[in-house]
Structure 1
Amino acid sequence: MNGPAATYDEAARSAGLPLGSCLVERRLDNGLWIAAAQVPSARVQRLVGAVGVGYLDEPDDCRGLAHLLEHALFLGSANFPEAGELARWIGERGGRYNARTDETVTDVHLHLPPDEADEGLARLVDMLARPCFEPAHIAHEVEVLDAEFRARLADPALHRLAALGRLCREGHPARLCHAGNRKSLGDDAAHLTTRLSDFHTRHYRSGGMALAMLGPLPLEAQLELLERHAEPLPTGEPSPLQRPWRWGEPGGVAWHAPQAMPATSALELIWPLPQALAAAHGEWLEAVAARLSDGRLAATLQAAVELDSFDVTLTPQGVGTALALRLAPAPDEETVQTLLAACRMALERALASPLTERPVAPVELDVWPRRCACRLAAAGNPSAGPAAPREALQPWLAVEQCRLLWQSPSAPGSWKRLAETGTAWHPQPLASETLPLPWRAAPALSARTLRPSVDEPGPYLVNQGVGFQLWAGDPLRLPDAAPASFCLGWSASLSRQAARLSQWRQNALPLRQAAAVHGLELRCDGDARGDWLIATGPAERLDALVELAVACWPETVTRPRDEAPKGLLAQRMLTRLVTLPPPGTPGQQSRQPLAWVHGDTDTQAAEALLRRLAARRREDDTSYEVPAELHWLSAQADDHAAMLEIAGPDDTPRSRWLLQLLAQCHDAAFHHEMRQRRGLGYVAAVRYREAAGYPRLGYVVQSPGTSVDALRQAIGQFLTCQGEALARLDQATMTSRKRALLAAAGPPETHAEAVARLWHALRRHPLADAWQPLPWEAESQALASLHADELTAMASAIAEGRLAQRWWLHRPGDTDT
């Protein structure tokens, strides 16, 4: 391996990877970009293959072709010709896989145990290089895409993209919907197969592709794997792509879905940028974005509007390269113009004084390799010649260059309708003059003087028996540890928890942004055991952050909001497994506030805060209404759907591991049974989820035409006829599955994950007088002790209905009952 090791360390630090990581990016002789990231603390090896072609590169007369090709990659390849083979192989190893088609890039990503990386990469490259295109399989997949398209008509994200197209030039592909359906793709399977093959031959070539890996394997081993497996890829440059500027003249569009929610609204302000120019000055643009999100603009806007969310990004979905702001809610035109005026002024301020010293937040390990591979695949050959000066960006960021996209509540007015999606829209003028808002200061986080640092002891109980419990000390220090952390939880009513958490996050929005400027991170959340927060970062301002976060917590909910539906109906159903207590399990809250601190946190200040909380929470009502065993969802889409929720017998590591193993055993077979053999619908999956440590499984099917009763019967028949048989594993298979599961859910990969897992383990034992063992060590021991017959017994208990369960059902036109 050429190059000094220090260079690889510095590259990893610049990319935001954990301390101790190494990173290499290089281009091979065949034009393929590769990236290898060694992260010693990572549990799994993440593999990504990306191709620099997306849905905007499709033929005009075959919209959805790139999306269909992404699906077709999973229908078999030269060395692994069986459809569904990849899903089965990954499932047996406890891994995960997914794929995505974006505007100008398509990617496939796998998560596997490190010792499976060699074969996993072989399978990934084979599906990218030599997919099988069988007309019968392609015809079936067109029907799947058509069902997906119809299901997505209930997802606001589809209508957002459709409305966004109204801001693009006439004749540009971005004006059209590219999800793909039976009408846009046609019903001639043989002809469509030929077009798929031609599209693949022209664009899936090494010169326009990238492979990326991230995991614990040594850097040299990763590079060897990447270089060796790159050889089968078709060599050469892809066909040249014509990508003209998409945007029309600056302006605005208001839109809503065909069945708009009156309480749902959002505003996006977009400044499109030339890709090469933005890439050349990426750090400066990030500094501008950081200034916009330093808390001052959020505080100013929130004083005038009940702002729930405010995000600044340089990678807005479906927009290409741009600086974009998203704010919600934006309920009327007056609010829209007020927000627009304030954001325009804030952008002028940010351009004049970007925030250049904002700490770089660590990346999410699951996200990083995909973004890296997509960036490299989209880059192609490095551009020749000197980059344009930064001043060339200024005209693109002028206030008058803004494009406005307003998700409006359904309101009176002249609305046009897009024929394909039914999206309602109309032009939205941008007012040139609006009275500016009075500027507010960002929340101030006072700093205290730190005492001289000393070696911190292991966790010990500072105080108990006085209405609260306080722990101090850190049992684990990973290289990327924050200087200090403060975890705090208390009992709270579950009956209106979702609305209360939404209001808490709204109240704390400027605070979270101001904290980020000082390298602090704040998370406010809640679950079946109550409400809680985790704050991490430099100790001198941490206590002040927690004090202000608690002050933002609402005693009562004054503005309950209905969450806008997001994603497919089946995905919304699965979120119930995370947000609600499982069936048959009453809330087990402790009325005593609980806290855990480490680092140079002021324990006296923590005690004082806990004492005040204990006095306030003494009379709290923690009761809640348990959802019925059969629950109908209000009409949210035109599809039928059913999900069987099954709760584990308890919240012990044994139950959690057994349900995760069952999900592995059942998922691929359930998908094949429901989608391939029975042809029931677009979505068919088995998913494991937890809420406050309580494990449960969800067996979900979403279908455009099959009745709810038939879906329930199909799920029940699968469990009674196949559930137990699929869980009968021989000793070798059981050992392999356990090893893979430990790789996927073993010791924490980052200190942030370690803090969260330690905190929630502590909350499960709120009155303990001794610190519990590291939870992942106890979980590892529990997994090692499991026997195959225990797995079979759990499957039998599910098939016989001996575990608590609940049905979630949906059909068009129904309401909550």
Structure 2
Amino acid sequence: MPEMPAPRPVRRRLANGLEVLLLSRAEAPRAAISLRVAAGSHDEPAAYPGLAHFLEHLVFLGSAGFAPEQGLMAYVQACGGQVNASTQARHTDYFCEVPADRLDGALARMLDMLARPLLEPAAQRREREVLHAEFLARGQDADTLLDAALGQALPAGHRAAAFLAGNRATLTLDSDAFQQALRAFHRRFYQAGQLSLVLVGPQSCAELLALVQCHADDLPAAARQVQAPPPTLLPLREQHLRMSLRGSRPSLQLAFALELPSRVPIAAFNEALALLQSGLSTRSAGSLCARLEEAALCRGLEVRLVYRHLGQALLLLNFAHVDPVGPAQASIAAALQDWLAFLASAADWGALAATRGALEARQLQALGPLALARHWQECLSVGREPGASASAEGLQAARTLLLQMRNPERAISLCVGPAEAPAWPGAGFPLHMSRTAPVAAVPPRAWNWRLPAANPLLGPVAAAPVVLGMTAALDWFAAPRGAGRAAFHGLLRFAEPPPLAQLLAYGQARLRTVQVDAQEVGAMLRLAVEGDGLQLSLEGPADLLPRLLAQVLARLGTAPAAAWPAPGAADATQMPLRQLLGRLPELFAAPGPEPARAGCTDWPGLFRRAHLEGLGVGLAAGERQAIARLFARTACLPPTEPLARPAPGRYWRDAAIDAPEAALLLFCPQPAADAASEAGWRLLAQLYQGPFFARLRGELQLGYALFCGFRQVEGRRGILFAVQSPKASTTQLLGHIEAFLAAQGERLAWLAEQELRVACGELARQLGEQAASVPGRAELRWQQHLAGLPQAHGEAVRQALNGFESDELQRCHRALCQARGGWRVLAGGAPPA
């Protein structure tokens, strides 16, 4: 793909102090908003932990200009967009993506809700329960508990050591002092001088600026508040800890408290952090991660920032699947120090920075509007330009931070596993943790480190790709509007399928390096179980996709025995609802226990003998031929046989998840697969979405995690309802969904004709927009293939929406309520009597 300069935004500051970044992307069908408030949890009164997070929730519940049912959440959901918010240590983000012609309305609502929220007492009381449910759910999340545990190692006076999530006990709504603090925090920080706004869309920068000027007048003007610098991160309170995490596999967490003097520019500090993360997380041959995996000391390394503000950071290295008994932990710690010494002496940081900048420029070309808006927002906040050449200050700061990581006074060691540990007091979240002794030293070892190699997806193409023994059936479609991008979906089918959990684990382990390489060049690689096979999804620059697929197949078809997965329970540290979503294919498994399958003894051979069904969009003739040459034999992809009509009735599958909160998925398949039926069920899903959220989350306050939407599961199309709750059983959750559906019958009967016409038009527009993009068209074609539907099905659904009648919609609703296509429940518990 020819090198193209990344688009650059236009920067403006309005008279009231609002900082604005405007980026015009003429080819984008959608527009995005990212708005950051320069205040977060560390800026709230210490007496009210969670106040900043609580305010983030409250602003969505009505403003002076828009009632809740007309506000940003409802507006974005109605047009098929996405919206969310996040409270961090020193900033709060609000962001959304909408069709380009809806940007005006979305921006008006976002700015109004931030400037003039109602903060009504009744809404506060309801939302506190939602936030408390979120607190309970986060108390089961592995990353949240890890971050809380590391906070206990920091100095007691540092805000990063405090509990800041908020819950029912810390948000004292009936206190006048709390209400005054809430409104004072809003007045102080939710004003133009504290805000930075990024807009991305197909409009010109002049048009985008006009939209901002039209709606930003209501923001109060005030000078930017100077945030107090944090206290030092040293001395650490704790340095050697052991934590119990139920359902987890043993891991080693090594964290480093890093800080630079205030005279070092913030941009240089953040440039240095990015370079450090890049050098530590590389998976190329001879790197830290590669050598540790070769030595069977761990299975994967994740690097992330737990905390960052001004010149301070807490950098975490997560080494997965580490043997808790024996010298593995000491060996990893020693290897890390040896790797750091190697980088300090051998690395050309200028060259590494240049390579990283070039890759980042490629990544920017692949980002959608929302991801691009959030990326530029982050760059704006830390004062850096993506793809810019390395500064002398940044390179020097990287060397300084590298030296600090070799200082034992700045290191925290946290061993994590399922073994029980006593309760740790005062952390806010429920931690079970104890102090441990430092690990014993291990003898030095020659690791033969190598500097990060060039990305294998770039550079000259291999003259003769390795041809695997597998066969393939392929089909191709032209790109609607791709700008050089393409997508490919494939399903690997096996003569004797192995256990699916191990199949996916093997694929994920073998392709982790390839996924990182793909991400670096603006491509994407995903794996999932589909039926008895493994599904591959690739998207990225069209000229790189054949090379990416070749590497995927080569990695799957070659692996040492040490890389083969061992049978065992899946990692249960995810929230219950996420665990259920990962097991969606089980909805259509035969009732009763899973059939016993012998473990595979030759994983590479299994893949070499597989058969691939594949479908590509946006690939030129030469690129199609390059993919065909990867296989021993190819044929045209035959149409899939239509699925049998689903059986009516109700089916419950117990996922046997051991979790303190109840979670349930209800999938209601369409009883018929014709275009008119699908149009009706898609309309139902769209019309259910807002009321479902309002009823179960707002009124009943069942929990924080829930949604409903149109989905395809194992070739079946229908509506999926998902709920997780700390206060209701799985039986009660199903009862609440049933009651909701019963109430929707009356609502649909009184639905105004104009409202139905608007909903039909909006849904048709969304489907047309999806079909007009490369990844969207590929996904539609692929899902149709898996469902056994003809190529013209998508257009037939859009046509069926024209003139769709209320009587037809009500018939679809009755069919759903009567389970004519069946109700499929996957729950973390046994079925009701």
- The residue number in structure 2 matching 1:346 is 339
Q: State the AA in 2 paired with 1:304.
A: A
Structure 1 residues 606 and 201: alpha-carbon distance in aligned structure 2, compared to 1, 3 A threshold: same
SS of the residue corresponding to residue 95 of structure 2 reads: strand
Moved more, 43-52 or 537-546: 537-546
Conservation of the 8 A alpha-carbon contact between 1:680 and 1:706? yes
SS of the residue corresponding to residue 370 of structure 2 reads: coil
- The residue number in structure 2 matching 1:504 is 507
Normalised by the length of structure 2, the TM-score is 0.79
Q: Deviations over 1:751-775 (max 9, x none)?
A: 4555555555555569x9xxx56x8
Q: Of the candidates 483, 493, 511, which is equivalent to residue 491 of structure 1?
A: 493
- The residue number in structure 2 matching 1:127 is 113
Moved more, 717-726 or 677-686: 677-686
Q: State the AA in 2 paired with 1:795.
A: H
Q: State the AA in 2 paired with 1:69.
A: L
Q: State the AA in 1 paired with 2:336.
A: C
Q: State the AA in 1 paired with 2:500.
A: Q
Question: How far does residue 640 in structure 1 lie from its aligned partner after superposition?
Answer: 3.5
Q: What is the RMSD computed on CA atoms of the aligned residues? A: 4.3
Q: Of the candidates 414, 417, 420, which is equivalent to residue 409 of structure 1?
A: 417
- The residue number in structure 2 matching 1:337 is 330
Moved more, 321-330 or 68-77: 321-330
Give matches, 1:291-370, under 5 Å: 291-292=279-280, 293-296=282-285, 297=287, 298-305=289-296, 307-313=298-304, 315-316=305-306, 321=313, 324-332=316-324, 334-351=327-344, 352-354=347-349, 355=352, 356-357=354-355, 359-360=359-360, 361=363, 362-370=366-374
1:438 aligns with 2:447: yes
Moved more, 714-723 or 728-737: 728-737
Question: How far does residue 165 in structure 1 lie from its aligned partner after superposition?
Answer: 0.5
Q: Distance in 2 between matches of 1:679 and 1:312?
A: 36
- The residue number in structure 2 matching 1:747 is 770
Moved more, 695-704 or 231-240: 695-704
- The residue number in structure 1 matching 2:571 is 564
Q: State the AA in 2 paired with 1:719.
A: L
Q: Of the candidates 72, 95, 99, which is equivalent to residue 81 of structure 2?
A: 95
Conservation of the 8 A alpha-carbon contact between 1:634 and 1:815? no
SS of the residue corresponding to residue 143 of structure 1 reads: helix
1:594 aligns with 2:613: yes
SS of the residue corresponding to residue 438 of structure 1 reads: coil
Question: How far does residue 65 in structure 1 lie from its aligned partner after superposition?
Answer: 0.4
Q: State the AA in 1 paired with 2:348.
A: S
User: Identity percentage over the alignment?
Assistant: 25
- The residue number in structure 1 matching 2:825 is 807
Q: Distance in 1 between matches of 2:672 and 2:147?
A: 43
Question: How far does residue 415 in structure 1 lie from its aligned partner after superposition?
Answer: 7.1
Give matches, 1:604-753, under 5 Å: 606-607=628-629, 609-611=631-633, 629-649=651-671, 657-691=679-713, 694-723=716-745, 725-726=747-748, 729-745=751-767, 746-747=769-770, 751=774
Conservation of the 8 A alpha-carbon contact between 2:114 and 2:190? yes
1:420 aligns with 2:428: yes
Conservation of the 8 A alpha-carbon contact between 1:501 and 1:526? yes
Conservation of the 8 A alpha-carbon contact between 1:152 and 1:567? no
SS of the residue corresponding to residue 668 of structure 2 reads: strand
- The residue number in structure 1 matching 2:599 is none
Question: How far does residue 147 in structure 1 lie from its aligned partner after superposition?
Answer: 2.8
SS of the residue corresponding to residue 170 of structure 1 reads: coil
1:212 aligns with 2:198: yes
Q: Of the candidates 22, 25, 35, which is equivalent to residue 11 of structure 2?
A: 25
Structure 1 residues 728 and 13: alpha-carbon distance in aligned structure 2, compared to 1, 3 A threshold: farther
Q: Extract unaligned runs of 5+ from structure 2.
A: 385-390, 592-608, 637-648
Structure 1 residues 602 and 155: alpha-carbon distance in aligned structure 2, compared to 1, 3 A threshold: closer
- The residue number in structure 1 matching 2:32 is 46
Q: Distance in 2 between matches of 1:45 and 1:636?
A: 42
Structure 1 residues 722 and 612: alpha-carbon distance in aligned structure 2, compared to 1, 3 A threshold: closer
Moved more, 35-44 or 277-286: 277-286
Q: Deviations over 1:54-101 (max 9, x none)?
A: 112111111010011111112221122457854434433333322211
Give matches, 1:103-142, under 5 Å: 103-142=89-128
SS of the residue corresponding to residue 747 of structure 1 reads: helix
Q: Distance in 1 between matches of 2:295 and 2:650?
A: 41
SS of the residue corresponding to residue 145 of structure 1 reads: helix
Structure 1 residues 647 and 554: alpha-carbon distance in aligned structure 2, compared to 1, 3 A threshold: farther
Q: Deviations over 1:698-719 (max 9, x none)?
A: 3334333334433322221221
Q: Distance in 2 between matches of 1:634 and 1:604?
A: 45
Question: How far does residue 331 in structure 1 lie from its aligned partner after superposition?
Answer: 3.6
Q: Distance in 2 between matches of 1:439 and 1:160?
A: 32
Moved more, 432-441 or 104-113: 432-441
Structure 1 residues 780 and 554: alpha-carbon distance in aligned structure 2, compared to 1, 3 A threshold: farther
Conservation of the 8 A alpha-carbon contact between 2:268 and 2:397? no
Q: Distance in 2 between matches of 1:778 and 1:23?
A: 40
Conservation of the 8 A alpha-carbon contact between 2:331 and 2:442? no
Question: How far does residue 784 in structure 1 lie from its aligned partner after superposition?
Answer: 4.9
Q: Distance in 2 between matches of 1:412 and 1:553?
A: 35
Give matches, 1:156-171, under 5 Å: 156-171=142-157
Q: Distance in 2 between matches of 1:520 and 1:82?
A: 39
1:203 aligns with 2:186: no
Conservation of the 8 A alpha-carbon contact between 1:489 and 1:593? yes
Q: Of the candidates 798, 802, 807, which is equivalent to residue 816 of structure 2?
A: 798
Conservation of the 8 A alpha-carbon contact between 2:671 and 2:820? no
Q: Deviations over 1:96-133 (max 9, x none)?
A: 32221111111222333322222221111111001112
Conservation of the 8 A alpha-carbon contact between 1:105 and 1:378? no
Conservation of the 8 A alpha-carbon contact between 2:75 and 2:106? no
Conservation of the 8 A alpha-carbon contact between 1:106 and 1:374? no
Q: State the AA in 2 paired with 1:562.
A: A
Conservation of the 8 A alpha-carbon contact between 2:22 and 2:198? yes
Q: Of the candidates 246, 269, 280, which is equivalent to residue 268 of structure 2?
A: 280
